[in-house]
Structure 1
Amino acid sequence: MAKVKFVPYNKEIEVQQGENLLEVARKAEIFIDAPCNGNSVCGKCKVKIVEGKVSSEKDRHISDDEWNEGYVLACSSSVIGDVTVEIPSNASASMHNMKIEALSGERENKIFEKAKKQILDKGMEFETYVKKDYVELDIPTLNDNISDFERIKRHLRNKLGYNQVFCRLPMLRKIPPILREANFNITITHIPRGQGKTTIINIEKGDTTNRLYGVALDIGTTSVAACLVDLYGGKLVAKASSGNAQIKYGADVINRIMYSTKKNGLHELNHAVIQETINPILSKMCGDSGIDRDEIVSLIVAGNTTMSHLFLGIYPDFLRMEPYIPAFVKPPFIKASELGIEVNPETFVYLAPCVASYVGGDITAGVLSSGMWDVDENVLFIDLGTNGEIVFGNKEFLMTCACSAGPAFEGGEISCGMRAASGAIEKVTIDKKSYEPKVTVIGNDKPSGICGSGIIDLICEMMLSGIIDRKGKIVKNLNTNRTRFDEHGIGEYILVFKEEYNLEKNITITEVDIDNFIRAKAAIYSGITMLLNNLGMDFSMIDKIYIAGGIGNSLDIENSVKIGMLPDVERSKIEYIGNSSLMGCYLTLMSEDARHKLEEVSNSMTYVELSVEPGYMDEFVSACFLPHTDIEKFPTVKELLSK
């Protein structure tokens, strides 16, 4: 046995000799950023051995100076004796992303209002299916001595016309004490099921008919966002987001699927998303708004297919293996108590239906909120999250595909990347003569890293100012101290010197980062191309492009075109619509008509598997350039670069 001590956390754990250091940290509940899930690819799990030794080998992620100072990669190190391990702040940087933040923003509120108006304009009802009724029951006597539940059923039958009333055991246990505490004057929350049937899901003392709440929840691979909604009219009471705690098991769905196959892996992933992420978000929103969790009686959830499986604790490994078969696309209604979600235990959880292994309920919810299912124009919908999903169509057809973009759009696999949260650099400009940058930071805070929108700006500005060539390689011998090269010849650009903000390390972007991002943007562009090719169409036939996802509100459309992520079309056609998945959940929460339309949308989408499409890899490789190997596809960028 060996003792492993982690500083500055002052935690100590006893383990078997030979155990992997990253796994030991996880056992000790010490967060170490490991986007590649311990495959020695990303280099982010760098830690310092301050006392004792581990078995480790130096690789390209560890410089000579760092190696001499005791730095190793936790994922490729084994415990061989008592050891003290220092966790640098950058190795646990994603913990910053785990902080729960209250969402705000006039732009986002306007998007929600627009989505609501769209439902109303189409003649769809916009009201919850959950009902609340205040009832004054007859007090039992020797002459009227029927059971408590029969007393409730009698009242609902005689006063409200429900011939059949149901409730589950947890609710039955709640009835006797509440009736007597309330002197038999209670408010019943119930769900009518047609033909005189209803199911009781909550009972409260007194008249609380003015309080009825639900939650819309988007489970992203990197981030989880939620809004608490007053079900009377759909007013947003609170909004919050957090990093997905599953990130400690890998930044992308493939790494998480692989982790789920390990002993207790599926349980740990399910626990991370529900107990470590969703429940704290719910607690934050309830605390901020003064709402009891038992008052939340409806929950609509959307996520990609892998997140949906992990949310329900369903083994997902077959999603990644040909022929890529999910366990389900449309799960049944589930009670919150079955999942351990801390709302009213009787709350029904509705999970948005998926389409295929890599097109999930987040996309069907996004398409619902976009309204593209009811227009004549040809609409291109692109979700720029940890996975890149694309839908093209109109009210006549919907075709979809998924691109292996990876987590770069949310800061994953980027050395100083982070999601769009407080402290993230979201906008960048660079002076073309001095190569000096100017940055805008979310929350006007001290910069902690750079998010997707900032990375797009940065790469575009570096290209236009001549810091990088069209392959994404940093040009040598520039007259600036912002660029440097390591012993392997890999270049980096220093966006923020640590001395500027009293940081522990510089905020940089390396050639490896740039290459990762170029591959991500190439996956999107080539996916769009293949989808249109399948329909015998081209970019000129696109009438509207909607950009959705967690990339951030500061996405610069012009820069997105300049780097070759989006097609070079008229810019007025392109619009960022925010977290469309969360909006789709909100509409489904408030409208049964919207829920039926959501299911129609999922059933009508035709999925194209790009991995088996002839010519896809050629399209992808061609797009791994700034903006593209064929500059003629980007006439406005060609003109700009020729100046």
Structure 2
Amino acid sequence: RLKIALMRDWGLKTPEFDFYPLPQVQGILRKGNWTATAAIHKDADSDIARVIALWPGLKNEAYGLACDIGSTTIAMHLVSLLSGRVAASSGTSNPQIRFGEDLMSRVSYVMMNPDGREGMTVAVREAISGLVDKVCAEGNVHRNDILDAVFVGNPIMHHLFLGIDPTELGGAPFALAVSGAVRIKASDLGLKLNQGARLYMLPCIAGHVGADAAAVTLSEGPHRQDEMMLIVDVGTNAEIVLGNRTRVVAASSPTGPAFEGAEISGGQRAAPGAIERVRIDPDTLEPRYRVIGSELWSDQPGFAESVQATGVTGICGSGIIEVIAEMYLTGIISEDGVVDGSLAARSPRIVPNGRTFSYVLKDGEPKITITQNDVRAIQLAKAALYAGTKLLMEKQHTDHVDRIHFAGAFGSFIDPKYAMVLGLIPDCDLDKVSAVGNAAGAGARMALLNRGYRREIEETVSRIEKIETALESKFQEHFVYAMALPNKVDPFPKLAAVVKLPPRKATSEDGAVGDATPRRRSREERAARRGLG
């Protein structure tokens, strides 16, 4: 009788039932005085409609989860499937960090430990279960009312969440075990939601461009517009998407952990006490800065009191980008990234450090200095990202981009001007460079609430052209040129129109300066040049 009613009243053709509600059907109908609310799952038009849950009488609540599994942070939204309202949001650190700070170290852990994959899978699923508890408590929702879930993540997080060994992603050809969209029951992964709840994972684009990048693409929609849009998710492995409605290409680029504060002498993760904004006076070379947890600049009255609880503990990624860009704009470093030692006569902030020089950003305890090695680490990271972007621009046969979107948590804190001064991104109108926050989470919510978006991103991903930077011969050439600030060969006229860029000068590794002095190349640049032959 229930089947007949569904076919007659709702136009469903031969609906099927999950097994678990069948023993309860009669009791539920009797309890509801022969009225009931059925939850129907039908992901694709070609799918058979399935009854996945049944309640007596009228049930006017149904919820879903949209979750972005990042290598550092897991973010979750609890969303009403009826209204689209976000009922609650929460986040937590990814517990897999204890197995390895970055993605490749986690792959190595799996390779070296027989139970490594299982340990990381259990850890991330337990963390997600804990987040479900949090959002349910915040939204005053019962787990049994959650009927659908959408998950996104980079390829390694994707595989570990599904319980798949990610070892093949540790080296060329970076083969995905599963690349298409995944449709399963939530209970298959041990998630305790409604017994009939379904789970959907967006498709991965390539071996190092995952379902999170697909979700960002869905959210920002380069494939829906005429403008050439560049989307960059800056992390230890930057994901880059470039395109318009005619063609979309994608790649990943190994930027390393420098932008997250690792490999930097005073670097740290973004946390209270970390320097996040920096300005340097072009005349005196004296710095001022802001730290996370205080709205005051370091030269303003009350600053010391405002940071008394946390202190000034180090410098995070956004601060590193700004201080090095400011050092370039004020002439402390040359376009080749070498600290100008001759400025030591002009400012006590320039101090010798072995055969090179450093810039003292903060005196006292702890003393925070920007060393020559720090500058080199950022040059290497930004050059890798720019070289990946340049490859995609060549594939698109374009010499410019119309719009740039920074995705991800880190992208939200990058000042577009300083990113461009550094040469992290190509030249573009600054008012067309923006941070889009957790666009991966936004894309996951879109896929949760509208199955049409699922078909859209599945079709779009099938058309995206994947570029493996490691296999492209011109990557090294672009990398060498991108070591300079902003770039050795590419012009930045739109940036120069709003920011006074310093005249080019060559500086040797020991800090001697001159307009045409031959300079010693860094070890990294010499290695990169050898790779060109």
TMscore range, shorter length: 0.7 to 0.9
Q: C-alpha deviations, 1:412-447, integer Å up to 9, x for none?
A: 444554555666543232344252322141576736
What displacement does 1:397 show? 0.9
Q: Which residue of 1 aligns with 2:472?
A: 613
Q: Is the 8 A contact 2:278 2:290 kept in 1?
A: yes
What displacement does 1:398 show? 0.8
Q: Which residue of 2 aligns with 1:145?
A: none
Q: Is the 8 A contact 2:187 2:195 kept in 1?
A: yes
Asked if residue 208 in structure 1 is aligned to residue 59 in structure 2, the reply is yes
Q: How far, CA to CA, are the matches of 2:352 and 2:16 in structure 1?
A: 70
Asked if residue 642 in structure 1 is aligned to residue 503 in structure 2, the reply is yes
Q: How far, CA to CA, are the matches of 1:493 and 1:204 in structure 2?
A: 67
Q: Which residue of 2 aligns with 1:460?
A: 325
Asked if residue 307 in structure 1 is aligned to residue 186 in structure 2, the reply is no
Q: Would you identify which runs of 4 or more consecutive aligned residues in structure 1 move more than 6 Å?
A: 173-185, 193-196, 478-490
- Within the candidate set 379, 384, 388, 1:527 is matched to 388
Q: Which residue of 1 aligns with 2:427?
A: 568
After superposition, residues 87-486 of structure 1 pair within 5 angstroms as 153=3, 156=6, 160=10, 162=12, 164-172=14-22, 187-192=37-42, 197-204=48-55, 207-209=58-60, 211-261=61-111, 262-276=113-127, 278-414=128-264, 417-420=267-270, 424-432=274-282, 433=284, 435-441=286-292, 446=310, 449-474=314-339, 477=344
What displacement does 1:336 show? 1.5
- Within the candidate set 383, 391, 404, 1:545 is matched to 404
Q: How far, CA to CA, are the matches of 2:215 and 2:370 in structure 1?
A: 34
Letter in 2 for 1:338: D
What displacement does 1:406 show? 2.1
* RMSD, aligned α-carbons: 3.4
Letter in 1 for 2:193: V
Q: How far, CA to CA, are the matches of 2:352 and 2:55 in structure 1?
A: 66
Q: How far, CA to CA, are the matches of 2:330 and 2:474 in structure 1?
A: 33
Corresponding residue SS for 1:538: coil
Corresponding residue SS for 2:394: helix
Moved more, 508-517 or 152-161: 152-161
Q: How far, CA to CA, are the matches of 2:493 and 2:47 in structure 1?
A: 62
Q: How far, CA to CA, are the matches of 2:46 and 2:335 in structure 1?
A: 66
Corresponding residue SS for 1:551: helix
Q: How far, CA to CA, are the matches of 2:184 and 2:451 in structure 1?
A: 17
What displacement does 1:564 show? 1.0
- Within the candidate set 601, 615, 632, 2:460 is matched to 601
Q: Is the 8 A contact 2:272 2:291 kept in 1?
A: no
Q: How far, CA to CA, are the matches of 1:283 and 1:418 in structure 2?
A: 30
5+ unaligned residues in a row in structure 1: which ranges? Answer: 1-150, 499-504
Change (3 A) 1:205 1:487: farther
Moved more, 561-570 or 441-450: 441-450
Q: C-alpha deviations, 1:202-249, integer Å up to 9, x for none?
A: 34466431x221121112222222222122232222222233222222
Q: How far, CA to CA, are the matches of 2:146 and 2:348 in structure 1?
A: 55
Q: C-alpha deviations, 1:69-104, integer Å up to 9, x for none?
A: xxxxxxxxxxxxxxxxxxxxxxxxxxxxxxxxxxxx
What displacement does 1:627 show? 2.4
Q: Is the 8 A contact 1:451 1:551 kept in 2?
A: no
Q: How far, CA to CA, are the matches of 2:202 and 2:79 in structure 1?
A: 18
Corresponding residue SS for 1:232: coil
What displacement does 1:483 show? 6.7
Q: How far, CA to CA, are the matches of 1:315 and 1:348 in structure 2?
A: 23
The number of residues matched between the two structures is 483
Corresponding residue SS for 1:406: coil
Change (3 A) 1:408 1:183: farther
Q: Is the 8 A contact 1:214 1:230 kept in 2?
A: yes
Change (3 A) 1:606 1:163: closer
Moved more, 282-291 or 190-199: 190-199
Corresponding residue SS for 2:165: coil
Q: C-alpha deviations, 1:523-552, integer Å up to 9, x for none?
A: 11111112222343212xx22222212214
Letter in 2 for 1:523: A
Q: Which residue of 1 aligns with 2:510?
A: none
Moved more, 464-473 or 379-388: 464-473
What displacement does 1:497 show? 4.9
Change (3 A) 1:418 1:339: farther
Change (3 A) 1:517 1:206: farther
Q: How far, CA to CA, are the matches of 2:6 and 2:273 in structure 1?
A: 54
Letter in 1 for 2:384: A
Q: Is the 8 A contact 2:356 2:372 kept in 1?
A: no
What displacement does 1:350 show? 0.8
Q: Is the 8 A contact 1:227 1:236 kept in 2?
A: yes
- Within the candidate set 480, 485, 490, 1:626 is matched to 485
Q: Is the 8 A contact 1:299 1:349 kept in 2?
A: yes
Q: C-alpha deviations, 1:302-361, integer Å up to 9, x for none?
A: 112222111111111112332222111114312211212343343211111012111111
Q: How far, CA to CA, are the matches of 2:244 and 2:47 in structure 1?
A: 39
Q: How far, CA to CA, are the matches of 2:82 and 2:93 in structure 1?
A: 30
What displacement does 1:192 show? 4.1
Letter in 2 for 1:215: L
Q: How far, CA to CA, are the matches of 1:470 and 1:393 in structure 2?
A: 30
Q: Is the 8 A contact 1:420 1:550 kept in 2?
A: no
Q: How far, CA to CA, are the matches of 2:2 and 2:313 in structure 1?
A: 57
Letter in 1 for 2:287: E
Moved more, 379-388 or 561-570: 379-388
Change (3 A) 1:169 1:196: closer
